[in-house]
Amino acid sequence: MTSVNVRTGQDVVRPDKDTFLSEENPFEAMMSRFDYAAKRLSLDAGLYKVLRNPEKQIVVSIPVQRDGGDVEVYTGYRVLYNTSRGPAKGGIRFDANVTLDEVTALAAWMTWKCAVVNIPFGGAKGGVICDPGTMSMGELERLTRRYTSAIIDTLGPDSDVPAPDVNTNERVMAWIMDTYSMHKRHTVTSVVTGKPVAMGGSLGRREATGRGCMIVTLEALKRHGMPVKGARVAVQGFGNVGSVAADLLAKQGAVIVAVSDKSGGLYNANGFVVADLLKWVEEKKVLAGYPNGEAITNEQLLASNCDVLLPAAMENVITSKNAATIQAKIICEGANGPTTAKADAILEQKGIFVIPDILANAGGVTVSYFEWVQDRSGYFWDEDTVNRRLERIMGTAFEEVTTMADKHAVNMRIAAYMLAIERVAAVHRLRGMYA
């Protein structure tokens, strides 16, 4: 199926809308893009079947004694999607809405993300169904350690390396590393990434995802002949990723006109002083109440007058219902899966340049790779070295994806999937099939 890109006037090949069956099921929504990319690559039927299925899905029960003495049993997951290119890599989230479909989709995303930036990892993801907000620090530690022991046969620097995700952090990674190390009877720092720097974490890791978003946004602006200075940016999600990206883009001369978090959004046509926003959030924990901006909703932020929209909150925020209202020329996906498959077709028809999640937010896993390398070698880099190497990898990946997009006349998302699938498939062909 073809349509006309309204900004270039060129015919662009797009997957038929009937290919995209669901805006709700995260795995099928993600795999619909995979299916179309595989079709464009003429991927052989056997490899298609291999790459469309996870290698391993683990479901565990996690009994935890609460502080009051009652025992609660939680359900945990760990999915290894594909490990042909190296150890599985992927975060662990603690959330009441965790599902096996979601974890599987995120594990597949990690597979393609690692391949896009060409680092030697496969994809994994983990999660526990719980509400961390109702749990004490002691309960969270017991939950983490019991979950770790339940999946310990999978974990290891050469097999499966977790990282922080939703509602997990450096502290949780420290518990995982300690639990694993106690079982192995020696300290194994390289079993997780996103650890405190004092115990083998990497400098620059906390800022890496936001920095990666900044790097590819600058590349996109350059590709479209748009100056960075004065570029109007709206950031949905002023957490770790969004706040860092906003700060770094502002330092490059961009104007941050809209921001939001779970408490709501703010708009300032003249641009925010990001340093003041960061100070406010550090003290108040949320954006609500910040005096130098007009209160807006998250929906209004998405439709705001800007050059760059950076969704860095949750999945499925840009859908077929609101995609037509977006005014941005460039979308940089700081979050995983912020745009549904049906929305993609609308954005492309509008001529909006989308930097897909598996490229845009790959800075985090890239510096996680750096952390893993540093832990294994026992030699640690200064922050300038980390940032310089991140910039080189992200810049190269952006160039390779745009080259693929131009060559095959597809959008950036399909091009990123094509590049990733091509790399993973090539390794499968070289390795052959063990029988």
CA-wise closest residue to 347 among 317, 378, 374 = 317
Residue 16 has pLDDT above 90, yes or no: no
Residue 20 has pLDDT above 80, yes or no: no
Phi, psi values for residue 363, rounded to 5°: -60, -35
pTM summary value? 0.92
Residue 4 has pLDDT above 50, yes or no: no
How do the domains of the chain map onto residue ranges?
Answer: 1-46+207-362+408-435, 56-199
Q: Which of 125, 195, 329, 342 is catalytic?
A: 125
Fold classification of 56-199 (topology level)? Rossmann fold (3.40.50)
The 10s digit of each residue's pLDDT in 116-146 is 999 999 999 999 999 999 999 999 999 999 9
Phi, psi values for residue 27, rounded to 5°: -70, -50
Q: Assess contact for 337 and 32: CB atoms under 8 A.
A: no
The 10s digit of each residue's pLDDT in 313-352 is 988 899 999 999 999 999 999 998 899 989 999 999 999 9
Q: What is the pLDDT, as a whole number, of residue 265?
A: 96
Rounded alpha-carbon distances, angstroms, from residue 113 to 45, 69, 129, 417, 420? 23, 43, 25, 9, 7
Average pLDDT of the residues in 179-205: 97
Rounded CA-CA distance 353/349 in Å is: 10
Average pLDDT, the chain: 93
Rounded CA-CA distance 332/117 in Å is: 16
Rounded CA-CA distance 314/335 in Å is: 6
- From first CA to last CA, the distance across the chain in angstroms is 40
Catalytic (active site) residue 125 = yes
Pairing assessment for the beta strands 330-332 and 308-311 based on DSSP bridges:
parallel
Token digits of residue 279: 């100070």
Q: What is the pLDDT, as a whole number, of residue 337?
A: 87
Q: What is the pLDDT, as a whole number, of residue 24?
A: 61
Q: What is the pLDDT, as a whole number, of residue 384?
A: 98
CATH top-level class of 1-46+207-362+408-435: alpha beta
Q: Assess contact for 285 and 254: CB atoms under 8 A.
A: no
